[in-house]
């Protein structure tokens, strides 16, 4: 076995620095995905003639194509078309947010559809304005239902961030690669990177599962 505990420990500081970046990417990307997904779901449901179809097409397209290509489009293509260049980190956040918004939009849709039709009908009978029905009746019932699914997508996003090293984002994997290049020992940094992922995602998954179980009980 070709393992050095010393090398493993020495790789940690840089790896943890990268982990911080990974966590930042995940949190910012998640916020964007949560908000944008909700907007997409509500707009789609509003059934505005051209807009709703366009949204559906966009969502299906983003969902069915690789995140990596979408990252490249934002980081390489966008500047060449519009002259607007985002840093690697920002490109990463936007790409993650857009890509995962296509997932969360579907999650929100399911949650909204699960609200009983009678709630909509009572709101019509009471002549409540449409926007207010969304805000005060439908979303307060739809969103709590889908929180576990949203949590799971955040965890998925966390695990997908390493592909951003392709545009030079200084995440965990980038740092592992850097350590490997410097010390010529690849075993320890890459293994420790994997361990770090496990250490974060396993407890997170357990938390989400517990949240799911609690909802199922109180429902």
Partner 1 sequence: MSNVPHIVTSVLSGLTATVEAALGGIALTVVLSLVAGLALLSPSRLVRGIARVYVEIFRGTSEVVQLFWLFFVLPVLVGFQLVPLFAGIMVLGLNHGAYGAEVVRGAVRSVPKAQYEGAIALNLSPAQRMFRVLLPQAFVEMLPPFNNLFIQLLKSTALLSFISAGEIAEQGELLRPVFGADLGWIYATELVLYLLLAILITIGMRALERSAARRLGRTPPARAKVFASAGGAG
Partner 2 sequence: MPTVPDPLPPDPHAMIRFSGVVKRFGDNVVLDHLDFTVAPGEFVSLIGPSGSGKTTILRLLMTLEKVDGGTIEVCGDYLSHVRKGDRLGRADEKHLRAMRRRIGMVFQQFNLFPNMNVLRNITEAPVRSLGLAADEAEARALDLLDMVGLSDKAQAHPAQLSGGQQQRVAIARALAMRPDVLLLDEVTSALDPELVADVLRVLRDIATSTDITILCVTHEMQFAQDVSDRVMMFDHGRVLEDAVPEKLFSEPGHERTRRFLRAVIDRE
Nearest to 45 by CA among 99, 109, 136: 109
Measure the CA–CA gap between 126 and 137, rounded to whole angstroms: 12
Q: How far is the CB of 42 from partner 2 (least distance, A)?
A: 17
Largest CA distance in the chain: 73
Which of 24, 145, 190, 212 is close enough to bind partner 1 by CB under 8 A? 190
Residues 138 to 177 in contact with partner 2, rule: CB under 8 A: 140-141
Which of 202, 209, 210, 214 is close enough to bind partner 1 by CB under 8 A? 202
Query: Does 132 contact partner 2 by CB under 8 A?
Result: yes
Q: At what angle do helices 172-183 and 187-218 cross, to 10 degrees?
A: 160
Q: How far lies 26's CA from each of 33, 44, 99, 192, in Å?
A: 10, 26, 12, 20
Query: Does 174 contact partner 1 by CB under 8 A?
Result: no
DSSP letter string, 69-99: HHHHIIIIIHHHHHS----HHHHHHHHHHHH
37 within 8 A of 108, measured Cβ to Cβ: yes
Query: Does 69 contact partner 1 by CB under 8 A?
Result: yes
Of residues 35 and 122, the one with the C-beta less far from partner 2:
122
Query: Using CB distances below 5 to 8 A depending on partner kind, what does residue 122 bind out of partner 1, partner 2, none?
Result: partner 2
30 within 8 A of 100, measured Cβ to Cβ: yes
For residue 161, give the DSSP letter. Answer: G
Which of 103, 123, 138, 208 is close enough to bind partner 1 by CB under 8 A? 103
Q: How far is the CB of 177 from partner 1 (least distance, A)?
A: 8
The stretch near partner 2 (CB under 8 A) out of 13-21, 36-44, 112-120, 207-215 is 112-120
Query: Using CB distances below 5 to 8 A depending on partner kind, what does residue 72 bind out of partner 2, partner 1, none?
Result: partner 1
The stretch near partner 2 (CB under 8 A) out of 25-33, 39-47, 57-65, 121-129 is 121-129
Query: Does 126 contact partner 2 by CB under 8 A?
Result: yes
Measure the CA–CA gap between 44 and 96, rounded to whole angstroms: 21
Of residues 138 and 175, the one with the C-beta less far from partner 1:
175
Tokens at 51, concatenated: 């807009």
Query: Does 129 contact partner 2 by CB under 8 A?
Result: yes
What are the residues binding partner 2 (CB under 8 A)?
Answer: 116, 118-119, 121-122, 124-129, 132, 136-137, 140-141
């Amino acid at each position: 076995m070709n393992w050095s505990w010393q090398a493993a420990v020495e790789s940690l500081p840089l790896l943890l620095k990268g982990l911080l970046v990974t966590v930042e990417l995940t949190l910012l990307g998640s916020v964007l995905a949560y908000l944008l997904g909700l907007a997409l779901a509500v707009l789609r449901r509003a059934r505005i003639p051209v807009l709703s179809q366009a949204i559906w097409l966009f969502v299906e397209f983003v969902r069915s194509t690789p995140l990596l290509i979408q990252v490249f489009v934002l980081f390489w293509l966008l500047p060449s078309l519009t002259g607007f260049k985002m840093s690697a980190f920002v490109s990463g956040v936007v790409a993650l947010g857009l890509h995962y918004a296509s997932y969360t939009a579907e999650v929100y849709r399911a949650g909204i559809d699960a609200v009983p039709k009678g709630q909509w009908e009572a709101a019509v009978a009471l002549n409540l304005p449409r926007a207010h029905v969304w805000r005060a009746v439908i979303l307060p019932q739809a969103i709590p239902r889908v929180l576990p699914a949203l949590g799971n997508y955040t965890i998925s996003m966390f695990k997908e961030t390493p592909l951003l090293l392709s545009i030079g984002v200084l995440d965990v994997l980038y740092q592992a690669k850097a350590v490997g290049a410097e010390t010529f020992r690849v075993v320890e940094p890459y293994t420790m990177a994997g361990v770090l992922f496990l250490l974060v995602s396993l407890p997170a998954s357990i938390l989400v599962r517990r949240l799911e179980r609690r909802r199922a009980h109180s429902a």
